[in-house]
Amino acid sequence: MQPTVPAARIEDVDVKISVLVHAAPYTHQAADTAYQFILAAIAKGHAITRVFFYHDGVNIATRLAVPPADDRNIQKCWSVLAAEHGVDLVVCIAAAQRRGILDEGEARRHGKGDGAANLAPGFRIAGLGQLIEMGIQSDRLVVFGA
Amino acid sequence: MLHTVNASPFERTALTCCLAHAVNGDAVVLIEDAVYAVVKGSTASAEIVAMTEGVDLYVLGPDLAARGINRAKLIAGITEIDYAGFVDLVVAHTSSQAWL
Amino acid sequence: MSDTAIAPKIIKKFLYVNRKAPYGTIYALEALEAVLIGAAFDQDVSLAFLDDGVFQLTKGQNARAIGMKTVSPAFGALGDFGVTRLYVEAESLAERGLTRDDLMIITHDFENGTTGEVPSIIVVDRARMSNVMAEHDIVLTF
């Protein structure tokens, strides 16, 4: 069976797509599927408006994960995606605080001590408004979860 | 509307619920563990055959391959796509809904 | 937070779809947090409850003995945030042995300024729920 889908129409190039990721890395495949989907979308010339990490999806953004050398490093995959393609990776502040994902400012604000910040490069922490905003600003929103 | 289902139909009800809400002209993409649903002879595939009239059904090839599901084992009427095809489907439908 | 600083010119129809029961997982609570924040954006917001999501709206919840915050009272405040449509699927209720009387009473003020309250819960059948989903620009699931 050949991969056949409705051929994208001419006016369908450069569609603005945003992505919502809900599930923890490694435990669930969602982060991997979202990543592969985004690579394919970029290769097709679409723009990724933003990726918003919610629920346990915020755990993707820890710089402290040390997966085995023969496995993919999910956090690094995303950090590289941000560096190479300028994709805006936003981690929900409320969900992140619950689960111990902190940037420098949040670590300081909550008195967690020097070096406590664990947000990986390429990610930023912001409010849920960023989720609504990306819905407003993009043409399509796709959700990946557990 | 484009629907995505990612859970095995033998563990979760998401596929059944999705099919009950999909309407004429919608498309359903099975990804991750949901690809087990399209194996010929399974109870889930029988349900799909019974419920998907007017609904286009797609399955993500890389997820089939990862799970060792040969194309010969798929029920008829399913279109296999890759990630690029998945992107095309998202673009082709004005909205999408993930049945998590 | 600076999120509320943007002034969107576009108004889209957002549907928050709830298909999971409260307490056993965090999805109901965090979905509600997203709804309450999203309400500040002057978008057209509706909620849908189907499958186990209908359990979120049942009367008499009290999570004290499991050491959690009871989620359900927050639904009563949705009207104050301009969220006035909570679609509940009739078949999902029936499958779970529930009727409308098992659900909380959630209301919002009349929009035309006259006194009185309007029920926010709208029980719809499955076919109508499919239409509700299709009528929205953005379908957020949790």
The model's confidence at residue C7, banded by pLDDT at 50, 70 and 90, is low
Is 60 exceeded by the pLDDT of residue A9? no
For B80, the closest chain A residue by CA position comes to: A3
Is 90 exceeded by the pLDDT of residue B85? yes
- Of the candidates A142, A129, A145, A125, the residue with the CA atom closest to the CA atom of residue A57: A145
Mutation target among B18, B90, B95, B96 for the C interface, most CBs of C within 10 A = B95
Query: Do residue C139 and residue B20 have CB atoms under 8 angstroms apart?
Result: no
For B75, the closest chain A residue by CA position comes to: A1
Q: Assign 3-class secondary structure to chain C.
A: CCHHHCCCCCCCEEEEEECCCCCCCCHHHHHHHHHHHHHHHCCEEEEEECHHHHHHHECCCCCHHHCCCCCHHHHHHHHHHCCCCEEEEHHHHHHCCCCHHHECCCEEECCCCCCCEEECEEEECHHHHHHHHHCCCEEEEC
Partnered with residue A91 across adjacent β-strands are A53, A125
Query: How much is the mean pLDDT over chain B?
Result: 96
How many beta-carbon pairs under 8 angstroms link B with C?
Answer: 32
What is the H or E stretch that residue A76 is in?
A: helix A74-85
Tell me the residue type at C64. R
Strands B78-81 and B56-60: parallel
pLDDT value for A1: 42
Q: Which of residues 58-87 of A touch C (CB under 8 A)?
A: none
pLDDT value for C1: 45
Percentage with pLDDT > 90 across chain A:
89
pLDDT value for A13: 75
| CA of C97 vs chain B CAs: smallest distance (Å) | 18
Query: How much is the mean pLDDT over chain A?
Result: 93
Instruction: Judge contact between A124 and A103, C-beta under 8 A.
Output: yes
Residue C121 lies in a domain: yes
| CA of A21 vs chain B CAs: smallest distance (Å) | 11
- A98 CB neighbour count, 10 Å cutoff: 15
pLDDT value for B52: 82
Is 90 exceeded by the pLDDT of residue A5? no
pTM as predicted: 0.94
Alpha carbons within 13 A on the beta-carbon side of A37 = 29
Structurally, chain C folds into a number of domains equal to: 1
Residue C129's CATH number: 3.40.1260.10
- Of the candidates C67, C82, C75, the residue with the CA atom closest to the CA atom of residue C32: C75
Residue C83 lies in a domain: yes
- CATH pick for A16-144 out of 3.40.1260.10, 3.10.20.30, 2.120.10.70, 1.50.40.10: 3.40.1260.10
Is 50 exceeded by the pLDDT of residue A34? yes
Query: Do residue A5 and residue B85 have CB atoms under 8 angstroms apart?
Result: yes
Tokens 């399955």 locate to: B59
* C51: exposed, middle or buried (Cβ count in 10 Å: 0-12, 13-18, 19+): buried
- What value does the mean pLDDT take over residues C33-49? 93
The model's confidence at residue C5, banded by pLDDT at 50, 70 and 90, is low
Query: Do residue A136 and residue C27 have CB atoms under 8 angstroms apart?
Result: no
Task: Give tens-digit pLDDT for C62-106.
Answer: 999 999 999 999 999 999 999 999 999 999 999 999 999 999 999
The model's confidence at residue B15, banded by pLDDT at 50, 70 and 90, is very high
Residue C80 lies in a domain: yes
Q: How far apart are CA C40 and CA C102, in angstroms?
A: 30
Q: Which of A64-68, A113-117, B48-52, C14-18 has the lowest mean pLDDT?
A: B48-52
Q: Which residues of A are annotated as catalytic?
A: 92
What phi and psi values does residue C120 have, to the nearest 5 degrees?
-90, -25
Task: Give tens-digit pLDDT for C109-140.
Answer: 987 666 778 999 999 999 999 999 999 999 99
pLDDT value for C113: 65
Is 70 exceeded by the pLDDT of residue A6? no
Is 80 exceeded by the pLDDT of residue A37? yes
Please tell me which residue, C9 or B66, carries the higher pLDDT value: B66
In this structure, what token pair is assigned to residue C13?
Answer: 């129809």
Task: Give tens-digit pLDDT for A71-99.
Answer: 999 999 999 999 999 999 999 999 999 99
Percentage with pLDDT > 90 across chain C:
83
